[in-house]
């Protein structure tokens, strides 16, 4: 969906440049140059955009529900690790980029969803995603959010990233996390409390063409992901008036459970051992969160998370 909208925006920009209103395109390029760093400086959110009526229908379609398990004091900054990525990370968008129940459940906290920097290079599209509360996933951007001295900021990072979207099959519980420790280091450097978040139902929204590791399709997808920075899962779901084929996600409930915070003491120069210890604790808390809630959302008792 992001790719489609971004392509449309880029197409509109090209048409503008080639039209009689080319000077507007030139002015926008100047604006782009002057505003280039904004996605790394907290973005430019708009409550009006986040409150569009269409997002209310978007959340109700699945529906999307945010579940609180513990208070998050606005006196601290937090780094929320969102799992799993799914095909489109619909749960992350619905909960943190629209006027959902987040503000009521966690008063005093401002959520920032970090996404790949490449999306902010697309004309016009960048303005929309910033207005929704999305910012760059670069180290500079995460540092900017977590460096708020008064607390009250929450960085949301989809830990598995584009690579994990290739594992997004119905019933899949494989998370790409064992080698992902950059978010742990950022939490330590800024003293941001870590919070595991699991979205039950995220992998059920689409069916993906079989792509087991080692298959020709998976090899091609992984190579393209390394080249372009984002993955290209081959997926389908339902249509507007039929359920056999289309790109509209299936109507499956999304329950996003926000776990308890893991207190983190600021350490500007954490050692490898300290990063490993906190990473292991985070994995333990994430697994516990999943196990405590899985039976409430239709996960068989014998199924557990797979970390790779």
Q: What pLDDT sits at residue 233?
A: 86
Angle at 30 between CA 27 and CA 34, to 5 degrees: 140
Give the fold, CATH level 3, of 36-307: Glycerol-3-phosphate (1)-acyltransferase (3.40.1130)
Tens digits of residue pLDDT in 151-160: 999 999 999 9
**Residue 125 · residue 32 · CB < 8 Å:** no
The model carries a pTM of 0.93
Tens digits of residue pLDDT in 56-99: 999 999 999 999 999 999 999 999 999 999 998 999 999 999 98
Nearest to 217 by CA among 233, 235, 236: 233
Overall average pLDDT of the 248-271 stretch = 96
Q: What pLDDT sits at residue 226?
A: 81
Overall average pLDDT of the 273-283 stretch = 98
């Amino acid at each position: 969906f992001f790719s489609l909208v971004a392509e449309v925006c880029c197409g509109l920009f090209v048409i503008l440049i080639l039209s009689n209103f080319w000077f507007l395109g030139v002015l926008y390029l100047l604006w782009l140059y002057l505003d280039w760093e904004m996605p790394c400086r907290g973005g430019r959110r708009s409550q009006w955009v986040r409150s569009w009526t269409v997002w209310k229908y978007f959340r109700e379609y699945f529906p999307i529900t945010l579940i609180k398990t513990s208070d998050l004091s606005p006196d601290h900054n937090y780094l929320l690790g969102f799992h799993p990525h799914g095909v489109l990370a619909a749960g992350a968008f619905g909960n943190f980029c629209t006027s959902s129940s987040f503000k009521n459940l966690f008063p005093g906290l401002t959520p920032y969803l970090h996404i790949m920097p490449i999306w902010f290079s697309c004309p016009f599209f960048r303005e929309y995603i910033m207005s929704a509360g999305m910012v760059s996933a670069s180290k500079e951007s995460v540092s900017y959010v977590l460096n708020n001295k008064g607390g009250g900021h929450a960085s949301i990072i989809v830990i598995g990233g584009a690579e994990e979207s290739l594992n997004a099959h119905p019933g899949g519980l494989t998370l790409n996390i064992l080698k992902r420790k950059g978010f742990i280091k950022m939490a330590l450097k800024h003293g941001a409390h870590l919070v595991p978040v699991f979205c039950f139902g995220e992998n059920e929204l689409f069916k993906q063409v079989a792509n087991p590791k080692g298959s020709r399709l998976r090899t091609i997808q992984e190579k393209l992901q390394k080249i372009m920075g984002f993955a290209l899962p081959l997926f389908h779901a339902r249509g507007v008036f039929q359920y056999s084929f289309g790109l509209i996600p299936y109507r499956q409930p999304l329950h996003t459970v926000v776990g308890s915070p893991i207190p983190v003491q600021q350490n500007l120069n954490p050692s490898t051992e300290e990063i490993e210890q906190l990473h292991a604790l985070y994995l333990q808390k994430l697994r516990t969160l999943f196990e405590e809630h899985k039976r409430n959302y239709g996960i068989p008792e014998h199924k557990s998370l797979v970390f790779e």
